[in-house]
Amino acid sequence: MACSSSISLPLHICHGNKLTMIINRSHAVLHSIAISFLIYYRAFFLFHQPTPIIIPWLLLFTSELLLSFIWFLGRAYIWHPVYRTVFPERLPNDDKLPAIDVFICTTGPDKEPTIGVMNTLLSAMTLDYPPDKLHVYLSDDGGYAITLHAMRESWSFARWWLPFCRRFGIKTRCPEAYFSRTENHDSDSKNPDNFMVEREKIKEQYVLFKERVRRAGEESKFKDKGVYTASDHPSCIEVMEENSKEGLLEDQIIEMPLLVYVSREKSTSQFHHFKAGAVNALVLFTLYLSIYNLRVSAMLSNSPYILMLDCDMYCNDPTSARQAMCFHFDPEMSPSLAFVQFPQAFRDISENDIYDSEVRSAYTILWPGLDGLKGPVLSGTNFYIKREALCCHSIKKDIDLRELKDSFGPSNEFIKSLRQDYKKPNLNDNGEASNMLLEEAKVLASCSYEDHTKWGKEVGFLYDSVAEDFLTGFVMQCKGWISSYVAPSSSSRPQFLGTSTTNLNDLLTQGTRWGSGLVDVALSRFSPLFYGSSRTSFLHSMGYAELSLFPLLYCLPLWCFATIPPLYLLNGIPLYPEVSDPYFSIFLFIFLSSLSKHLHEVVVTGRPIRKWINEQRIWMIKSVTCHLYGSLDAILKKFDLRKASFLTTNKVADNEQIKLYRGGKFDFRTSTIFVAPLVTVMLVNLASIVGGVYRIMFMGTDWRKMFGQVLLSFYIIVMNYVVIEGMVLRKDKGRIPLYVNVLSIVFSLIFLSLGSIIISN
């Protein structure tokens, strides 16, 4: 099926897999029939149960209903998935391509190493795109002097790096990634001798560049920091300019993109929003919030398209901008196309990937599924978005100026930039005009600019949401915008590469933050179940609803299944039909159907069976830890019992953590609130299965009545054997500490003892 205009050579096409759709829909029908029988069984036999087990029966029934509901919502992804192919070579000439602003955001060098941020910046500067139409902005949320210094050094090094990449057709344009390669030098050069000479020269310059940045970073730790801090500093905007031609030939002309350092004003007396909020510009007129980069860039470049990048997500395929333009140039799609989303791929993931850091299901199942409806979720990074979609529609000439200032703030220049007939500013015209634009940009970067405007008054909730990217894309699509998803083929390179979580602490901390943000949206007035049902398609709103509710609707049932059946197994009381009962086959079918469908998705996407096991394990671990805490966090915020918080994921590599990860061993050096529940659940199930088997073998308990509970506990133990390994078998630093084991033993004994007393009475 063609998704582009009806011209002889389309810029892009999309296609679906009919066989996969048939399998998906057939499975959905069969699974739904089985669920209906399960619901009938639970409802019909509810009041036929002895009084002591009505409550656990109700708990299990409720859990089964919740899992069935979240499963039903997830059918939206598999109903009509599509996959896209682009043809950037068919784009018009460079002079007809639109300008692009690139936004990169960093919070500080402690968790986001400066060299890594600069590598991302350099990869963006070397995109295969006309340099005069490329403008790169680095937003330094902490206003660190070392970041600004490193950016100046990057500008100097780029004068060597950019010509080298262009001259020899280098594909890997992140310097660190390129020079770490030992064999394939990634060049199209037909003169290998000349290429190797140039390569060594550039490598020498890169080593010097890193050394200068490292030395500056060490010096900054000992210098007097003065009156300004990361949480209290004025706005700072600096346009990098070429001030030296040392080492270059006189007739050599280097076309460089515009490079701008931006640090928004921060004050301890003013509430500030998250890093994502300082980046994700949200739509106006009661829908979205503005951001500093959007306003500042409107003064300096005002490009019609914007690329958003995390500071550790470098451009791995220099043609990504042209790939995105294949959609934005489509006359049928472009008028309503808000953004083109690319997947996140990670360079630090091991072959085993014990933490499911790849997030396979999102980028291979969920996003293509949503792309077949109205478009994928805005994923926070790796997307090319239309400025008009962020700023609503361009304003008309006949709107009253006072009304505009009430909505957009007091800046006349910023209001002018929103007009359809606005001419792009030229910083090279003269010094006076450039200074005026820079001063206006500093005003727009102030922390109080949006006070008393519709930005600040009407959509304050969006500022506080940790899942601002998710919410931004959802509300856009509810207003009629669409999006597209472009994943690399198996034979092509990922468009972007970054770093992922490779230790349990970061994984669960990140999961708690994401869970809180998603449930926050589910409980808000923008809940996809209600807000989206009348504004977008039914299936599309189902997909968004599943994403916003899954942390809450997984944590409650999984806690129930991990504790209630084992407790009653220990006491010899059945909660499932006996093996000879026809309804037992319904429970068994649903259990095996879910596992086999997940296994099918893993295999179809080219992953090994080991990946399926890892994903099952991480799903259970997250559900009883970070999904629970994230959901509680969102509920407390809903009742104004806490404020929203934002913690960045640590991007500083730890050698010992990396060694454990590469060896396929869990690193349990994390908070007790994460590890203790895991150990407690394992101890409860171990005690229950031992006690249950003892009852069957020596006390005459009918095994056919208890088989369902034995099977469930056995499955939990087998899938999470790594917890047992961390408790008793391992001796390295990543093992579970003794005090956590003792604490968990106490918790499990209390739970089993009190539970048994309640049951016996």
Residues tagged in the binding site annotation for Mn(2+): 275, 310
Residues annotated within the binding site are: 111-112, 141, 275, 310
Distance (Å, rounded) from C-alpha 335 to C-alpha 238?
Answer: 34
Give CA–CA dist 141/279, Å, rounded: 10
371 and 485 Cβ atoms separated by less than 8 Å: yes
Start-to-end Cα distance in the chain: 65
* CA atoms of 130 and 257, how far apart (whole Å): 8
What residues contact 607, with CB distance under 8 A and at least 6 apart?
360
- 8 A C-beta contact, residue 23 and residue 87: no
Secondary structure (H, E, C), 431-491? HHHHHHHHHHHHHHCCCCCCCCCHHHHHCHHHHHCCCHHHHHHHHHHHCCCEEEECCCCCC
For 725-757, b/e burial (b = at least 16 CB within 10 A) is ebbeebeeebbbeeebbebbeebbeebbeebee
Q: DSSP 3-state assignment of 303?
A: coil
Q: What does the alpha-carbon distance between residue 529 and residue 211 come to, in Å, rounded to a whole number?
A: 53
The CA distance from 71 to 65, in Å, is: 10
**For the chain, how big is the Rg over CA atoms in Å?**
28
Bridge partners of residue 140, in order along the sequence: 106
The C-alpha angle with vertex 649 and arms to 644 and 653, in degrees rounded to 5, equals: 165
**Integer Cα distance of 97 and 588 in angstroms:** 57
Q: How far apart are CA 350 and CA 657, in angstroms?
A: 12
**Other C-beta atoms lying within 10 Å of the C-beta of residue 89:** 10
In the sheet with 345-346, reading across from the earlier edge strand, the strands are 314-315, 496-498, 345-346
Identify residue 413 by its one-letter amino acid code: E
CA angle 625, 497, 669 (to 5 degrees): 30
Question: Contact, 102 vs 134, CB < 8 A?
Answer: yes
Q: Annotated catalytic, 141?
A: yes
d(CA 637, CA 640): 5
Phi, psi of 336 (to 5 degrees): -110, 5
Residue 314 identity (one-letter amino acid): Y
> Which entry of 469, 506, 520, 667 is annotated as an active-site residue?
469
CA atoms within 13 A on the CB side of 271: 12
Residue of 101, 140, 141, 353 marked catalytic: 141
Which H or E run includes 66? Answer: helix 54-79
Q: Is 224 a catalytic residue?
A: no
Q: Which residues are annotated as a binding site for UDP-alpha-D-glucose?
A: 111-112, 141
Handedness of CA 310, 316, 319, 323 (dihedral sign): negative
Residues labelled catalytic? 141, 469
